């Protein structure tokens, strides 16, 4: 390895990672950490945070792609994307312990950048499809639940792939730092790397400072993207909306809210409603009988607005009723799967009283949406403390 192509103006210390690249990198670390934590560990009530950080990560990635064509020397894809034979050759050199040190990304590191960019882009795209199809929110709110649910599998596979890539990336950084006895993480913080003898050839262009106007334009685009995705109203732009509470059949609205709030008709399939309406004399342990004509008129309406006619997530999951109790939402497999962590006593005590009281924790239960971010489990009323 010769040094003939390092001309005299090449400084000893190189600003290898410009401000934009560093902000991008650590911004991505932060947003992906929150996205993985909320997605895998914290449950669906964190959906708004998950979508927010996911949108920011996607905007960062798009900005990084623009930077890859227009940015500083070591940020450009042309600087670090090598042909497969080159990457393979470098891999063999690493194995044989003859690989030269690179100032920018080495060929394997360059592959990692491409892989991370592609996987995160894929996660953003599949995430938006899930957000649309399953939760009827965001730009793809018109997609079907079935589509959203299917793509959710891809979204989860992508997230697992991302975790594996992150482990490989951190492993690569640690390996290279030890191999060359330098702190690569610090370089990603202060942006600098020192040239050494034996480095891979460097065609230094001197173009290593962020371009402020371009950076401003790119950041403006990030802000617009985030604003666009996040400001999507979660209750609009939907296909097949559940019937509005205000347009309930009159007898349903009055009779069914005598003892409890009226349940949204999309929360049970038509067959379950028929069964429930025919058994009002013993309605969950209470006589709620009505005259036959009222029962018939209410049930006729329910047949047209039940879970069978609705494509929301609650309608899709509660269509699957318990075979031994097809009229209880709280006996459905999905209900049990999602509520088992909540203690019996929490349900029995005020202000919830009963597992049937969806409205106590789901502030939008009456509308039939049950958006996960609208869940708040109330605390039992405290006795007044002495001051």
Partner 1 sequence: MKLLYISLTIAAIASSTLTSAYAGPRNSIIAGFASEAGKPLSAKRGKDFFMGKHSGGKPGINSCTSCHTTNLRGMGKTRVGKPIDPMAVSANSARFTDPAKVAKWFRRNCKTVLGRECTALEKGDILTYLATQ
* Dist. CA 190–CA 56, nearest whole Å: 23
Stretch that binds partner 1, among 113-121, 254-262, 265-273, 330-338 (CB under 8 A): 254-262
The binder of partner 1 chosen from 36, 267, 305, 360 (CB under 8 A): 360
What is the distance of C-alpha 254 from the center of its chain?
40
Positive or negative: CA dihedral 269, 275, 276, 278: positive
Q: Does 381 bind partner 1 (CB under 8 A)?
A: no
Q: Which window, 15-23, 101-109, 129-137, 356-364, contacts partner 1 (CB under 8 A)?
A: 356-364
| Burial annotation 100-113 (CB, 10 A radius, 16+ → b, else e) | ebbbbbbbbbbbbb
Among 5, 153, 194, 286, binds partner 1 (CB under 8 A): 286
Residues with Cβ within 8 Å of residue 302, at least 6 apart in sequence? 252, 265, 270, 273, 274, 277
Residue 199 and residue 135: Cα distance in Å, rounded? 52
| 26 vs 353 by CB, closer to partner 1 | 353
Q: Does 287 bind partner 1 (CB under 8 A)?
A: yes
Quick one: which of 339, 354, 376, 377 contacts partner 1 (CB under 8 A)?
354
Give the residue from 155, 153, 149, 157 showing the smallest Cα distance to 320: 149
User: 31 with 60: CB under 8 angstroms?
Assistant: yes
Residue number, 98 or 287, with CB nearest to partner 1: 287
The torsion of the CA quartet 20, 25, 29, 34, rounded to 10 degrees, works out to: 40
Stretch that binds partner 1, among 130-138, 283-291, 337-345, 366-374 (CB under 8 A): 283-291
375 lines the binding site for partner 1 (CB under 8 A): no
Nearer to partner 1, 44 or 330 (CB): 330
Q: Report d(CA 219, CA 221) in Å as an integer.
A: 5
Q: Which is nearer to partner 1, 13 or 254 (CB)?
A: 254
CB of 298 to partner 1, least distance (A): 14
Tell me which of 201, 206, 351, 378 binds partner 1, using CB under 8 A.
351
Stretch that binds partner 1, among 116-124, 130-138, 338-346, 354-362 (CB under 8 A): 354-362
Examine residue 25 and tell whether it contacts partner 1 (CB under 8 A): no
Which among 358, 142, 173, 366 has a CA at the least distance from the CA of 253?
Answer: 366
| C-beta of 333 vs 378, nearer to partner 1 | 378
User: Which residue of 259, 296, 300, 377 would you call a contact of partner 1, by CB under 8 A?
Assistant: 259
Chain mean position to CA 370 = 18
Is 228 a binding residue for partner 1 by CB under 8 A? The answer is: no
Q: Strand, helix or coil at 350?
A: coil
Residues that bind partner 1 (CB under 8 A): 259-261, 281-282, 285-290, 350-354, 356-357, 360
């Amino acid at each position: 390895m010769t040094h003939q192509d390092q001309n005299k103006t090449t400084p000893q210390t190189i600003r290898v990672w410009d401000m934009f690249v560093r902000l991008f990198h650590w911004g991505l670390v932060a947003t992906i950490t929150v996205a993985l934590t909320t997605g895998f560990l914290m449950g669906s009530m964190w959906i708004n945070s998950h979508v927010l950080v996911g949108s920011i990560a996607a905007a960062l990635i798009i900005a990084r792609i623009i930077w890859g064509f227009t940015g500083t020397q070591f940020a450009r894809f042309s600087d670090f994307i090598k042909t497969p034979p080159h990457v393979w050759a470098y891999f063999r050199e690493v194995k044989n312990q003859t690989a030269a040190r690179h100032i920018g990304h080495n060929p394997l590191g360059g592959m990692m950048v491409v892989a991370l960019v592609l996987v995160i882009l894929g996660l953003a795209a599949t995430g938006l499809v899930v957000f649309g199809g399953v939760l009827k929110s965001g730009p793809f709110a018109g997609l079907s639940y079935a589509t959203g649910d299917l793509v959710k599998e891809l979204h989860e596979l992508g997230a697992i792939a991302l975790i594996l890539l992150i482990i490989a990336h951190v492993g690569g950084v640690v390996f290279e730092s030890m191999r060359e006895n330098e702190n690569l993480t610090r370089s990603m913080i202060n942006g600098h790397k020192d040239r050494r003898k034996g480095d891979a050839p460097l065609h230094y262009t001197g173009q290593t400072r962020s371009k402020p106007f371009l950076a401003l334009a790119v950041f403006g685009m990030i802000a617009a993207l985030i604003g666009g995705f996040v400001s999507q109203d979660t209750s609009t732009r939907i296909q097949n909306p559940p019937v509005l509470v205000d347009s309930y059949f009159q007898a349903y609205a009055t009779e069914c809210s005598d003892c409890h709030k009226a349940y949204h008709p999309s929360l049970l399939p038509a067959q379950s409603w028929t069964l429930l309406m025919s058994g009002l004399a013993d309605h969950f342990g209470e006589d709620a009988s009505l005259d036959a004509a009222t029962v018939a008129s209410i049930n006729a309406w329910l047949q047209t607005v039940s879970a069978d006619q609705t494509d929301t997530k609650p309608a899709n999951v509660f269509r699957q009723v318990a075979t031994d109790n097809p009229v209880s939402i709280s006996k459905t497999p999905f209900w049990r799967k999602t509520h088992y962590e909540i203690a019996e006593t929490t349900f029995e005590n005020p202000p919830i009283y009963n597992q049937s009281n969806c409205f106590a924790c789901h502030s939008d239960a009456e509308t039939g949406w049950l958006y996960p971010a609208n869940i708040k489990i109330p605390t039992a009323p405290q006795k007044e403390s002495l001051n």
